[in-house]
Amino acid sequence: MDRLLDIKDLKVNLFTAYGEVRGVRGVSAEVGEGEIVGIVGESGCGKTLTAKSILGLHNPERTELSGKIEFCRKNGGIIDLISAQKGEMKKIRGSEISMVLQDSSAALSPIITIGKQMGEVISAHKKVSKSEAAKIAEKLLYDVGISEPGTRLKCLPGELSGGQLQRICIAMAISSEPRLLIADEPTTALDAVTQAQILELLKNLSAERNMAILIVTHNFSVVKRLCDRVYVMYAGLIAESGSVKEVIEDPRHRYTRDLLQSVPDGTKKRLKAASGPLPDIYSDICGCPYFERCAERGEGCEKEVPLKSLSGSHFAACIKAGGE
Ligand SMILES: Nc1ncnc2c1ncn2[C@@H]1O[C@H](COP(=O)(O)OP(=O)(O)OP(=O)(O)O)[C@@H](O)[C@H]1O
Ligand code: SF4
Ligand SMILES: [Mg+2]
């Protein structure tokens, strides 16, 4: 599988009234062509900042990015999205890389019909007439499983359900035939049944279009259902990565194990949550970031613990993970 996205030692610092926030402290991650990759971790670990950095969706006056984000363009050229010119980013954003967010209705205007909003997005990337754009929009709605797409195009967002709106946002995001779709918590606001349907839809679209997906979630069950590979993030760093099978069947970082135990499994057993504070976002971290909360911490954990190779594509940053 050819590499599509290669994030190298990404650091994101935010300048705030209270000081400098270390939002992302050094993340390296890859996405192959047509691959579905998850970034999973609890709230505040830096998932969204990582995803937004790929599209340059940050305030340049209050954010400092370092590292590299190399993306393989449709024309075969490699571009570093961190150092890319504004004009270049504009061409890539929404065209070669698209994004779907958790709250789809917020992205849509409540007073403009779905057809008009979709038409505008389609015309921004393709030189087509209004009637051709309408035909493309109808076909896209059909592709994302919307019944009676012709009728839905005439609706306002308020006349549709949350699940339908999320499908429409996905339809808009894929209208430019992107090579990479970034989905940030795309199903969190939906009920369990609709959530499962949207994940199934994303999986099918990825396979049909050879479109890679980078999905951001706090929920390991989303990763299980959808992804080929996963990066587990904690405090702005990667704690563990590998194929979903490697990480779920044989989690080696204590944080991954704690996170996996917090996935509801339909039983009434109490969810396990690691206690203790998260590392201070205004300070540098010495040693393992999970130290304060880890039930297995011991000698050596206070020193820097780099990611090490275990087997296959499996990596973990824990002194008790084994490996070389
Ligand atoms: N604009 C901002 N100003 C100040 N701090 C920010 C800003 N954006 C993010 N942060 C901080 O950076 C850290 C990482 O934020 P991020 O949004 O990436 O978290 P996340 O993993 O996506 O969490 P969630 O699951 O809650 O969406 C958090 O501590 C957050 O408070
Ligand atoms: S390195 Fe030490 S503190 Fe960190 S997760 Fe592993 S055992 Fe726990
Ligand atoms: Mg987020």
pLDDT in tens, 208-226: 999 999 999 999 999 999 9
Compute CA distances 31 → 59, 71, 107, whole Å.
Answer: 25, 10, 26
pLDDT in tens, 4-34: 999 999 999 999 999 999 999 999 999 999 9
Other beta carbons less than 10 A from residue 74's beta carbon? 11
For ligand 1, atom 29, name the residue with the nearest CA.
44
For residue 274 and ligand 2, the question of a CB distance below 6 A is answered with: no
Cα 101 to middle of ligand 3, angstroms: 9
- Please, are residues 189 and 103 in contact by the beta-carbon 8 Å criterion? yes
Taking the CA of residue 294 as reference, the ligand 2 atom at the shortest distance is 8
What pLDDT shows up at residue 272? 55
Token output for 52: 């937004």
Give phi and psi for 284, each to the nearest 5. Answer: -70, 155
pLDDT in tens, 48-95: 999 999 999 999 999 999 999 999 999 899 999 999 999 999 999 989
For residue 288 and ligand 2, the question of a CB distance below 6 A is answered with: yes
What pTM value is reported for the model?
0.94
For ligand 2, atom 1, name the residue with the nearest CA.
318
Note the ligand closest to the C-alpha atom of 235.
1
For residue 122 and ligand 2, the question of a CB distance below 6 A is answered with: no
CA–CA separation, 3 vs 213, rounded Å?
13
For residue 44 and ligand 1, the question of a CB distance below 6 A is answered with: yes
User: Kind and range of the H or E element at 65?
Assistant: strand 63-72
What pLDDT shows up at residue 276? 73
For ligand 2, atom 4, name the residue with the nearest CA.
288
What pLDDT shows up at residue 268? 43
User: Kind and range of the H or E element at 167?
Assistant: helix 162-174
Cα 154 to middle of ligand 3, angstroms: 32
CA–CA separation, 263 vs 95, rounded Å?
35
Token output for 310: 């275990």
Write down the mean pLDDT value for the chain: 92
Domains of the chain in sequence order: 3-91+193-276 (3.40.50.300), 97-175 (no CATH)
Q: Could you tell which of 45, 280, 283 is best to mutate to test the pocket of ligand 1, judged by most ligand atoms within 8 Å of the CB?
A: 45
For ligand 2, atom 8, name the residue with the nearest CA.
297
Cα 101 to middle of ligand 1, angstroms: 15
pLDDT in tens, 239-266: 999 999 999 999 999 999 999 988 665 4
CA–CA separation, 229 vs 247, rounded Å?
9
Q: At 269, is the pLDDT very low, low, confident or very high (cuts 50, 70, 90)?
A: very low
